[in-house]
Amino acid sequence: MVMTTTEGILLAVCVVLGLALAALLVRRRLQARRQHLSSEGERNSVLESVLEGLGDACLLVDDRHHIVFANRETGELFQAGGDLKGRPLAELIRDERILQFVRRLEQSGAKWAEEEFRVGILSNGVAEERFLVVAAAPVKLFGDASRRHFRVVIRDETDRHDTEQIRKDFVANASHELRTPLSIINGYLENLLEGDIEDHAMTRKALVTMQKHGERIARIVEDMLTLSKFESVGEKGISSLRANSFSCRECVEDVVERLAPLVEEKKARFQLKFPPAGADQIRGDRFYWDQILFNLIENALKENKPGNLVISVTMERDGAAAVIRIADNGIGIPRADLPFIFKRFYRVAKHHSQKIKGTGLGLSIVRRAVEAHGGTIGVDSTLGLETVFTIRLPDYVPDAAPGESGGTAD
């Protein structure tokens, strides 16, 4: 077939137009795809940044239980480095009970499930017990309705759980400590009511015993109230106490004077060593410092037998910081007990504290009070030789003189 020139031109135009149209369509499709990809990418990065800042470990796993997404907190919680994407969930979470929990949710078809687990997690090579709350739910992913994914959120509730446990222990210990003197008082009251109240000698003996146990209850309640006051001071620290500068030496001398009958009973000698007047200043709530020093000095007296008992209280400056030591050359504290003596109601083995007055709350009050002033307290002891409590206080900042603005004069 022979094509005329006009037909040839028409055909060429059609081919060019067809090609141009095809190119246009391809470009449109590419543009749309690029737009879709970039909005999906943006959506993912927004989602990721939201999940990164949540504080909980958040994971997305596919139906083969492989990780599709894991935020930074997940790696931190399970001490897993590198990119977690694509790795099996079982490689990250070693606790079979948590894996079974996710599998059960998948099989049940439930919309959501939550469970608590006490697990051991390696932290810097050391196994640490953690209390985890795990919540999981199936999710539909955009553009992939055929596959089921699961969202797993893991909250580390260890701190809250520990605090709750401490509170429970406190209530249990306090009730136990109060129960003994209360039942003794009740027993004596019953005897008095049923017996011969006219027997004055017996009645007096019962009343004296009841008074002793009544005083013990009062002291336990008082110590508990002081302790709870410090707990409410908590992280607010010294700013919520009445802080003034005062002479630490004077505070110690006052305490020793108040303890004069016990000092006399124990025939104790005191050695006080302080920097010169002015340099012996510390800053804090004097009311609580009386209590800190009273408890420590009273312990040094009451825990030890008379006979060459020497108690030394010293203060040194370490730059602007202050180091206060309360030491005695008495019975000492067994090494095994040292880590526990600041715990509430802890009293060292019966052999030396059974007959000695005390609630086991004194040192917990001391530690709380020192910490509320931004300081630290530690103890060192050698059985039969000495016990030394060391308080370290942060840099001393003198009170501003009245009217002093802190600015420089011209």
DSSP-based helix, strand, coil % in the chain, nearest 5: 50, 20, 30
From candidates 292, 361, 369, 372, binder to ligand ADP by CB under 6 A:
361
Nearer to ligand ADP by C-beta: 71 or 387? 387
- Min dist CB 313 to ligand ADP, Å, is 12
Nearer to ligand ADP by C-beta: 153 or 333? 333
From candidates 181, 284, 360, 375, binder to ligand ADP by CB under 6 A:
360
Q: Which two tokens stand for residue 96?
A: 């079979």
Nearer to ligand ADP by C-beta: 161 or 302? 302
Q: In 352-379, which positions are buried (b, 16+ CB within 10 angstroms) versus exposed (e)?
A: beeeeebbbbbbbbbbbbbbbbebebeb
Nearer to ligand ADP by C-beta: 74 or 299? 299
Nearest 5 degrees, angle CA 205-CA 209-CA 214? 145
Q: Which of residues 274-333 bind ligand ADP (CB under 6 A)?
A: 295, 299-300, 303, 328, 330-331, 333
Nearer to ligand ADP by C-beta: 268 or 341? 341
- Min dist CB 342 to ligand ADP, Å, is 7
Which helix (H) or strand (E) segment holds residue 351: the answer is: helix 350-353
Judge residue 86's burial from the number of C-beta atoms within 10 Å of its C-beta, 0-12 exposed, 13-18 middle, 19 or more buried: exposed
The window from 65-73, 189-197, 313-321, 342-350 that contacts ligand ADP (CB under 6 A) reads 342-350
Nearer to ligand ADP by C-beta: 181 or 330? 330
Phi and psi (nearest 5°) for 272? -110, 130
Judge residue 268's burial from the number of C-beta atoms within 10 Å of its C-beta, 0-12 exposed, 13-18 middle, 19 or more buried: buried
Looking at the chain, the number of H-run helices and the number of E-run strands are 11, 12
Q: State whether residue 189 is helix, strand or coil.
A: helix
From candidates 353, 371, 380, 392, binder to ligand ADP by CB under 6 A:
353
* Whole-number Å distance between alpha carbons of 374 and 394: 6
- Could you count the other beta carbons within 10 Å of the beta carbon of residue 102? 20
- Min dist CB 170 to ligand ADP, Å, is 14
* Whole-number Å distance between alpha carbons of 110 and 177: 48
Nearer to ligand ADP by C-beta: 64 or 351? 351
From candidates 362, 367, 372, 375, binder to ligand ADP by CB under 6 A:
362
- Min dist CB 218 to ligand ADP, Å, is 14
From candidates 213, 347, 367, 368, binder to ligand ADP by CB under 6 A:
347
Q: Which residue number places its CB atom closest to ligand ADP?
A: 358
Nearest 5 degrees, angle CA 330-CA 287-CA 277? 75
- Could you count the other beta carbons within 10 Å of the beta carbon of residue 242? 10
From candidates 71, 156, 387, 393, binder to ligand ADP by CB under 6 A:
387
- Min dist CB 337 to ligand ADP, Å, is 7
Q: How many residues lie near ligand ADP (CB under 6 A)? A: 20
Q: Does 74 contact ligand ADP by CB under 6 A? A: no
Chain contacts with ligand ADP (rule: CB under 6 A) = 295, 299-300, 303, 328, 330-331, 333, 341, 346-348, 353, 358-363, 387
